[in-house]
Amino acid sequence: MRLILLFAFFAVIGLALETAIPHLISFRPLLPNLIVILAVDLGFRHHSTTAALLAFAIGYATDAFAGSHPGLNAFMITLIFLVCFEISSRLMVTNAFVGATVVFFGVILTALGAIAISAGVEAVGRSGSIMPSLTLQAGLSAIIAPMVFAILARCKRAIGLPVSPARE
């Protein structure tokens, strides 16, 4: 329950910023993808069915504010959770650097995957013009990811949740 409340709180903050700020600042790539960062943290540090459901719920909540195909972000965020879960099950170390790297590729793959599913695979080939801004957003997300992980870890410690991977 504490895990659900914590991530629900961060997801609301993330979605509020991601929906309100682009309306004020026209340059969208300057806004990091906080939802992907949350999914990566869930996949790396919470090996439970609750975490999987939470990743799906965060993605489905994102669908309420993004895109025209409900389920698309739920799919991509659950997929990121699954990839991170698999990585952390196999790697000895899942530190902030690994997290930031996964966030970088996660942001790019989420975007391209969402375009491929909603507009067809051929649309990915035509989306070259969005790559520079997408790479910038992925880079910024990767830079702030360790900070967000640290804030999450501090909050988890404060409410008595495990910070390192723990199985149910």
Partner 1 sequence: MRGGFLWRNRVLLTAGMLLVLSLHLVTTGVHPGDLAARPQSMFLEILRPIDAALARVSESARSIVNGYLELVHVREENVRLRTELARVTSDQARLAELEAENQHLSELLELRDVLGLHAVAANVIGSDATGLSHTLILSAGSSNGLRPGMAVLSNQGVVGKIIAISPHASRVLLIDDHNSALDGFDQRSRARGIVAGVVDEGLILKYVDRSQDLRSGDAIVTSGLDGIFPRGLLVGTIKTVHREGPGLFLSIGITPGVDFRSLEQVLVVTQQPPQLDDKIKG
Residues of this chain that interact with partner 1 (CB under 8 A) are: 12, 15-16, 18-24, 26, 28, 31, 33, 35, 47-49, 51-53, 55-56, 59-75, 78-79, 81-82, 85, 110-111, 114-115, 117-119, 123, 126-127, 129-130, 137, 168
CB of 69 to partner 1, least distance (A): 5
Nearer to partner 1, 19 or 97 (CB): 19
Q: What is the DSSP string of 66-90?
A: S-SSTTHHHHHHHHHHHHHHHHHHH
> Is residue 28 within 8 Å of 69, Cβ to Cβ?
no
CB of 89 to partner 1, least distance (A): 9
Q: Give the whole-angstrom CA distance, residue 31 versus residue 54.
A: 23
Who contacts 80 (Cβ-Cβ below 8 Å, separation ≥6)? 36, 39, 40, 43, 55, 102, 106, 109, 110
Nearer to partner 1, 27 or 158 (CB): 27
CB of 158 to partner 1, least distance (A): 23
